[in-house]
Each structure stands twice: as structure tokens, then as C-alpha cells.
Amino acid sequence: MTGPIAFVVVFGSLVFIHELGHFLAARLAGVKVEEFGFGFPPRLATLGTWRGTTISLNWLPIGGFVRLADESSPGPDSLASKGRWTRIMVHSAGALMNLVLAFLLFSATYLFGTLVQVDEPGAGVLMVAPGSPAEEAGLQPYDNILEVAGEPIDSSEEVVTLIQERLGQPTEFVIEREGEILAPVTITPRENAPENEGAVGISLHMPFARRSYPVWEAVPMGLRATAITVENIVWAIQAAIRRQFDLQLTGVIGIYTMTAQAAETGIVRLMQFAASLSVNLFLLNLLPLPALDGGKLVFIALEFLRGGKRVAPEKEGLVHAIGMVLLLALMVVITVVDYMRYIG
């Protein structure tokens, strides 16, 4: 699958599933859905209508939306007329659908066969540093190193030792990828490597092998993978807030680049990447920021604290409008940074 097609399929599917969650929850609650939009306005084209809902394609391809019956209207088919728990359900349904999708994708990868670390002789590549000798030689995450300088490899420690013995010297590596032994590649370990990269620019652990599991094992493994992904992202956000971790934000260009890279390594890796991205969207949309689902939930929480008294819809709408402008501005900045990082 080519990069552009993979990006459209992955990103489009995640946006569609998210908005479908809002759509289904609203319809279940008796709320009229006036528009189901792909991308953000202005509108490019009207794709059709379904049971009173306009389906639109919009110019800004950075997300999607569902437009519900006017929040300021107390009409029986508007969200404003519904109780607090119903509004919580509608606002949180999109993020929850992203979480469910991540679980299904992770489970499917275990069912159909995924690369897992095994306690066998060899060394597996966990990460490859950008611009490193390993990347220039074509090494990829999940590769297995079988030989270094003609020496068979039994463990990652042996790889490190052999590399340290050959700093500055062209060294032949024999690599296995997805069960196929590739033609030997030559890498010259750096004598003065950047901090935390190592002489070659790889991090190592146990070797990888493809394994598939029956459904009764794949489902709990998918659930565990989803929980671990949520935990890791939350940890990264907390560490970034405490300035213990450099959290890099990425936008459409970065997501496109990573999607294309995942697609090059096969459909299972693409599914794993899509699952991780779906978890990111789950958490992102629940952040308590104006214009996001989490920001709308904050106003419902204020309603609980105020004894059932709602913030005036006009004031809440203004807050979300300002938040949307700021978020769009942030997206522009991130896109510029992405361009400089990946293209410029």
C-alpha cells in the first residue's frame, strides 16, 4: 500500500469512527444531527443527505465534525434539551469509539500474526535513530541482527561488544527481516556518536519473530496492548509537563510520514500504528481544552458544581469558538515545524 493511500485510509477511518460515535450517540438520544462533515469548513461539496443529515466534504483536511441541533435552542431534538448524563454520553462517544477501534486493531494484529520478542539467540532492533549510520544502511525497527563482522550473534550484548571493537571501521551486518535474510550491509560505527544514540544508532533487545494467536488469546492481548499504550502516552504527557521528557507534537505532515513508513513494513505494522494513533486521538479529544470534547465535558462538570445551573450557551459557545481559533493556529505552527523537520 502506497503512502498516500495508507494515509487516506488510516486518517480518514479514525476521523470517521470518531464522528460516527458522536453521530450514533446523538441519534440514540433523540438529538437531530444536522451535518456530518469530513474536514473543517468552508464546505467544498455536499456528498448527500441521510435521514435529514447533510454529509459534507470540507476544505481543511485536518479532522471532522458533526453539527447537532442548535445548542442555544431548547427544542426537543436539540442537545441543549437533554440531561447532563445524556450530554456526557454524546460528547464522550467519539473518543470512546477511538479507544474501541484501537482495541479491535491490536486484537486483530495478534490474531492474524504480529512480531513479538522471543527468548531465542540473536538481537532485535527496537529503534533506529534518524540520520544514523544504521538508518543510512537501511536498518529498520523489528529487524534481527544475525551476524556482525562474520561473528554469529547470540545476544544484544555481543552486538554492542563487536561494535565497540570496530569503531571507525566498515563492518558487515547480516540482517533478518520478517523471516527473510537480507543481503549483508556495511555500517561504519561512529567514534563520536551523539548522546544516547550509540555508535551505530540503534537500540537492541531480544530478537523478533512472527506469531499468531487464537481469538481467546488475541482479545485479552489486544486489551492489554491498548491499556499499555494509554499508560505510555499518559506517562509521556505527565513527564513533559514536569519537563522530564521532550514531547514532540506532530501534525498532518508528520502523521503522513509515519503512516507511509508503517505501510512500507506491512499491513500488520500499519494496523499497529493506526491503533496507537487512535489511542492518541482518544486522549487528545478528552483534554479539558475549549473546542475539544474534553472542554465540553468541563462545562457539564461546572453545571454539576453549580447545582444544575448551566453556563449560558452564548458564553460557552464563545469560549469554544476562541478555543477553535487557537487550536487552528497551533495546527498551523505544528505544520510549519513538521515541514521543516520532514521536508525542509
Residues assigned a catalytic role:
19
For 149, the grid coordinates are 563482522
Residue type, 11: F
Cα separation values, 133 from 97, 167, 188, 321, Å: 41, 12, 7, 48
Work out the angle at residue 25's Cα, subtended by the Cα atoms of residues 70 and 72, and round it to the nearest 5 degrees. 15
Residues 6+ apart with CB under 8 A from 312: none
Peptide bond into 121 cis (omega under 30): no
- CA-CA distance, 19 to 96, in Å (whole number)? 11
Alpha-helix residue ranges (DSSP H) falling in the chain: 3-28, 84-112, 133-136, 156-165, 215-241, 252-264, 267-285, 293-305, 313-342
10 Å CB burial of residue 261 (0-12, 13-18, 19+) is middle
What is the torsional sign of CA 138, 142, 148, 151?
negative
